[in-house]
Amino acid sequence: MTEKTRYYFDHNATTIVRPEVVEAMLPWLGEYYGNPSSVHSFGREAKNGLDKAREKTAELINAEPDEIFFTGCGTESDNIALAGCITAADKSRNGLVTSTVEHSAIIKTADDLEEKGYPIARIGVDSACRIDMDALKNSIGGTTRLVSIMHANNETGVVQDIAQAAAIAHDAGAYFHTDAVQSAGKKVIDVKELGIDMLSMSGHKINAPKGVGVLYIKKGVTVNPLMFGGSHESGMRPGTENIPSIVAFATALEIASGEIDEKSRKLSALVKRLEEGMETAVENIQFNGREAERIPGTSNISIPGVDGEALLFSLDMAGIAASTGSACSTGEVEPSHVLVAMGISPKVAQSSLRFSMGYGSTEEGVDRILEVLPPTVKRLRAVSGGL
Ligand code: PLP
């Protein structure tokens, strides 16, 4: 029996570890296994690897090495940025302003802070998933300590004008954090030029392994650690550092940063081919966030009259891996909070799908979607009774 060819269109969920990255991390799994906190030569070797990875990561976002903190994942970076910064504040200025389209790592942390009595404001987006900057201005008050707006949305790929959002935050005397988990390696990030005080990234979205994240904290911003232990990562994130994955992170970010232009050209052309092909072949299809700037490689579609989960399953059977933005809670499939925030009805939101591309994506894969999707939509619409 021959293996069915599979096509991966879920790069915003996670990515393969590139061979160059595997190669870079291997010595740190074998030969150089010391604990970077140890004073002997084994420890010093590991510390050297850690320092170099920190320097490289800092340089790639125009930060200083002592402003880089390695964490366990993007979620952890987001938690430390929000909860650590807000709980370090005095009572007169302990508010947070964030948006309704953030990843759950931000949304749930904000919810938890609110339950603990901290003032939280949430601003919305327009129909193309762009932050309402006037609402942002109006929501920030003298009590706002931190504004957190994501750089690129994981579901729609829409890129926010974070330089403008940071300027608005600073004008009101607040700090600015951005969740750059989806934009790192796809957009140039210069924390000084963009006015960013804190920034989160995650290894497994940039072709490094799962289980490593980065939090940039600008010097002078007071942030409380959320975990307690040794003095690793200056006490901000105690726990013996995951050197192989940290080395992998810095290597992957360096490779990705060097390929931004080329990748942007290639992935944008693939998205264009996909969207134009679907538009021609599928009646009444909508492209969510298409009018806004998007990170290259993300396409979010709604196909009214089709259940997104059923479509996802049919595509999977045909070897195509995509995703819906729906969340499964208490056995019910909830529509994507991002699409709902864009004004899309819950019903149409549940007929949505995300294709996300990256390293290794090909025209052949796009053409496979274009071959499989239209007849599948026709069949599912016939079952559901139309558009
Ligand atoms: N923030 C965004 C925008 C994401 O897309 C994700 C993951 O999907 C995260 C945070 C969480 O990152 P991690 O999976 O490394 O915890």
Pairing relation of β-strands 352-356 and 298-302? antiparallel
pLDDT of amino acid 387: 60
Distance of CA 282 from the midpoint of ligand 1 (Å): 31
Task: List residues near ligand 1 (CB under 6 A).
Answer: 73-75, 78, 103, 105, 150, 154, 179, 181-182, 202, 204, 213
pLDDT of amino acid 329: 60
Please list the ranges in the chain whose pLDDT falls under 50: none
Closest atom of ligand 1 to 152 CA is: 3
Pairing relation of β-strands 120-123 and 286-287? unpaired
pLDDT, tens digit (0-9, with 9 covering 90-100), for 79-116: 999 999 999 999 899 999 999 999 999 999 999 999 99
pLDDT of amino acid 369: 98
* CA separation for the pair 8, 297 (Å, rounded): 12
Short-list 86, 109, 129, 101, CA closest to 287: 129
Closest atom of ligand 1 to 204 CA is: 15
Distance of CA 78 from the midpoint of ligand 1 (Å): 9
Task: Collect all residues with Cβ–Cβ distance below 8 Å to 321 and sequence separation of at least 6.
Answer: 6, 7, 8, 9, 10, 315
Using CA positions, which residue lies closest to atom 5 of ligand 1?
154
Residue type, 186: K
Could you tell me if 218 and 184 are in contact, meaning their C-beta atoms sit under 8 angstroms apart?
A: no
Q: What are phi and psi of 115, to 5 degrees?
A: -60, -30
- Tokens 């790592």, residue located: 105
Distance of CA 74 from the midpoint of ligand 1 (Å): 5
Q: What are phi and psi of 363, to 5 degrees?
A: -60, -35
Could you tell me if 105 and 74 are in contact, meaning their C-beta atoms sit under 8 angstroms apart?
A: yes
Could you tell me if 297 and 358 are in contact, meaning their C-beta atoms sit under 8 angstroms apart?
A: yes
Distance of CA 102 from the midpoint of ligand 1 (Å): 10
Q: Which mutation among 77, 99, 103 tests ligand 1's pocket best, with the greatest number of atoms within 8 A of CB?
A: 103
**How many Å separate Cα 193 from the centre of its chain?**
21
* CA separation for the pair 211, 83 (Å, rounded): 20
Q: Which mutation among 148, 182, 215 tests ligand 1's pocket best, with the greatest number of atoms within 8 A of CB?
A: 182
pLDDT of amino acid 386: 66
| Strand ranges inside 208-330, DSSP E | 213-217, 286-287, 298-302, 320-321, 327-329
State both tokens at 266: 């290639």
Distance of CA 152 from the midpoint of ligand 1 (Å): 11
258, β-bridge pairs: none
